[in-house]
Amino acid sequence: MKKYDVIIVGSGAAGMMAAWKAAKAGLTCLVVEKGKSIVSSNAARCGGPALADTRLQETEQATVTVERLYSYMYEYSRGTVHAGLLRNAIDKGREVETALQEAGIEMTLMEDTYGVGFRARHFFRTPVQQRWQMLQDLLESLGVTFCLHTEAKRLLQDANGTIRGVAVRNLAEGREEEPEEELAADSILIATGGYLGSEEMIREHLGDIHVGALGSRLSDGAGIRMVLEAGGILDRNWGICTNEFGGYHSKMKKGMSSNMYFAIGGGLLVDRNGRRFMNEQRMSDKPLSLGGESTVREGHYYAVLDDEYYHALDRGTLYDYYGRPEAWHAGRTVHDCPQNHRAEDLEKDIEQGYAAKADTLAELAKKCGLPRLEETVAEYNAMCDRGYDGRFGKTAYLMKPVRKAPFYLFAYEQSAWCTIGGVKTDEYCRALTPSGQVIAGLYVAGMDNGSCYCVPYYDNEGAAVGIAFTTGLVAGEHITGGVS
């Protein structure tokens, strides 16, 4: 049996950082990746990470200290994540930057899109097709071996439960009949990117909802399952990192419709009964986190528009429509750009079965099967006239009545960049048993780690991949004996 010091399952954000750390310490390291190519992971395609204390921040005189980012995220989590793990992860921001720079990958520092009060999000400038290849080249030059198109199937343990290796299967055509290969290692890191590709796990943990996968379906929960089979336990936070660009519907076949944007437009949203179910400002201001979370609860939700709102985007931006209120941070940063609102999309949306148009609200309600819609709109319009949302507390500047016929309805479901929820670990990413014992030799990082992401998802952009990169380093450091 081939033997390595460390085997890393998954060549995404967490996996590549752990491999870098292991290789730098002179350990023999194998990365097993299910995808055919090195750009299969979500990390290879993502926007960029939230990191603390980077040189880039220093240059722009916008340093976000480790303490600041840690306190912000831990408070946001309300103590539902492992404080020690989160702190260890956030400590590693500068080191992530070092590794990426060593590979020649360029980033810039983003503005504070959602008004969290600091600029932690970095954005990749190096194009998708190149950047992960550059990282692989660096790691190979440091001695890391890559095994692409190869799926980890199960963990190998000795009689004491200590992890001794992993069984893998090569997925290349013509090799289906070959037996699994067993590979030995002193340490295994599971970093397979969550469970967006598993409808079963989504149903099990999030309820009977459909979640459109904006990320890779190769991440199908196999990593989490393998750890459970080896005696691990799940942590308690389960959710998704939702699409912040607008709505989604599984019936949407012919490309993205411009009408999907109304999901985050701040106007009236209703549930399957035609009742309001949230403060819609959460969607216009924090769609990735708080807003997205409220819609996951509903599964299906609907934007109801009058003709004035519907055509407002032909004339200007959403920020214009609401009168450019100075107090509206996301209005300025997110909603002040033209939406390329296409008239032909409406026809297509109606034809595909997730939109409707009617001359009266009664007709719209009947067409769409939303029994309480008329009553909801009457109540909502009265509150708009008073300029006060007495039900959910939406800010006055977003209270616009739904009054001018014809009326429009767009139905939405959730879509996600990645999932939240997975294995319970200690502060060094070591997998734990139900009694809190460490499973010797077994580490879990990135989205498979259930102990460092909260629900709702953090509201500072870049948290998902930021924590994935940094927990990869936390695990890598422990594997190399950097901490005890």
Cα separation, 51 vs 32, whole angstroms: 26
Least separation in angstroms between CB 32 and ligand FAD: 5
Least separation in angstroms between CB 456 and ligand FAD: 14
Contact positions toward ligand FAD, by CB under 6 A?
9-15, 32-35, 40-43, 45-49, 151-152, 191-193, 214-216, 218-219, 222-223, 417-418, 446-447, 462-466, 468
Q: Which is nearer to ligand FAD, 192 or 237 (by Cβ)? A: 192
Least separation in angstroms between CB 9 and ligand FAD: 5
Q: Which is nearer to ligand FAD, 185 or 368 (by Cβ)? A: 185
Least separation in angstroms between CB 234 and ligand FAD: 16
Q: Which is nearer to ligand FAD, 321 or 417 (by Cβ)? A: 417
Least separation in angstroms between CB 133 and ligand FAD: 14
Burial class (CB in 10 A: 0-12, 13-18, 19+), 160: exposed
Least separation in angstroms between CB 150 and ligand FAD: 7
Q: Which is nearer to ligand FAD, 195 or 407 (by Cβ)? A: 195
Q: Which residue has the tokens 């670990």?
A: 425
Least separation in angstroms between CB 330 and ligand FAD: 17
Cα separation, 296 vs 210, whole angstroms: 9
Least separation in angstroms between CB 384 and ligand FAD: 35
Q: Which is nearer to ligand FAD, 189 or 364 (by Cβ)? A: 189
Q: Is the dihedral of CA 28, 34, 36, 42 positive or negative?
A: negative
Q: Which is nearer to ligand FAD, 43 or 409 (by Cβ)? A: 43
Least separation in angstroms between CB 41 and ligand FAD: 3
Least separation in angstroms between CB 414 and ligand FAD: 15
Q: Which is nearer to ligand FAD, 36 or 386 (by Cβ)? A: 36
Q: Which is nearer to ligand FAD, 187 or 279 (by Cβ)? A: 187
Least separation in angstroms between CB 44 and ligand FAD: 7
* Per-residue exposure over 232-242, b if at least 16 CB sit within 10 Å of its own CB, e if not: bbbbebbbbbb
By Cβ distance, which residue is nearest to ligand FAD?
12
Helix (H), strand (E), coil (C) string for the chain: CCEEEEEEECCCHHHHHHHHHHHHCCCCEEEECCCCCHHHCHHHHCCCCECCCCHHHHHCCCCCCHHHHHHHHHHHHCCCCCHHHHHHHHCCHHHHHHHHHHCCCCEEECCCCCCCCCCCEEEECCCHHHHHHHHHHHHHHCCCEEECCEEEEEEEECCCCCEEEEEEEECCCCCCCCCCEEEEEEEEEECCCCCCCCHHHHHHHHCCCCEEECCCCCCCCHHHHHHHHCCCCECCCCEEEECCCCCECCCCCCCCCHHHHHHHCCCCEECCCCCECCCCHHHHHCHHHHHHHHHHHHCCEEEEEEHHHHHHHHHCCHHHHCCCCCCCHHHHHCCCCCCCCCHHHHHHHHHHCCEEEECCHHHHHHHHCCCCHHHHHHHHHHHHHHCCCCCCCCCHHHCCCCCCCCEEEEEEEEEEEEEECCECECCCCEEECCCCCEEEEEEECHHHECCCCCCCCCCCCCHHHHHHHHHHHHHHHHHCCCCC
Q: Which is nearer to ligand FAD, 230 or 303 (by Cβ)? A: 230
Q: Which is nearer to ligand FAD, 252 or 473 (by Cβ)? A: 473
Angle between helices 13-24 and 463-479 (to 10 degrees): 30
Q: Which is nearer to ligand FAD, 32 or 361 (by Cβ)? A: 32
Least separation in angstroms between CB 353 and ligand FAD: 26
Q: Which is nearer to ligand FAD, 11 or 295 (by Cβ)? A: 11
